[in-house]
Amino acid sequence: MGDDATAAAGPVVHADCVHCGEPTEHPESTRGSTLCPVCEWREAERNACSG
């Protein structure tokens, strides 16, 4: 059932990461800087250690 609803809506195009260019988990329509999971993790590490 869920597959039919997803197919009817069409495929979701994911935005590219602004750092490495890999696909992110965010749709292309997301505003702002989008990061892939790896770059999100690295960014969080840098912010946590810069305090």
Tell me the per-residue pLDDT of 25-51, one tens digit each, with 9 for 90 and over.
999 998 988 999 999 999 999 888 766
Instruction: Classify residue 2: in a domain, yes or no.
Output: no
pLDDT value, residue 10: 76
Instruction: Classify residue 35: in a domain, yes or no.
Output: yes
Q: What angle do CA 4, 10, 14 make, to 5 degrees?
A: 125
Question: The pTM is what?
Answer: 0.66
- What does each C-alpha distance from 30 to 2, 13, 17, 38 come to in angstroms? 23, 11, 12, 18
* Number of compact structural domains in the chain: 1
pLDDT value, residue 17: 95
Residue 3 has pLDDT above 70, yes or no: no
Instruction: Classify residue 39: in a domain, yes or no.
Output: yes
Domain hosting residue 43, numbered range: 12-49
- 36 touches 23 (CB < 8 A): yes
Residue 19 has pLDDT above 60, yes or no: yes
Confidence of residue 12 (pLDDT cuts 50, 70, 90): confident
Instruction: Classify residue 18: in a domain, yes or no.
Output: yes
The closest of 47, 19, 24, 18 to 37, measured between CA atoms, is 24
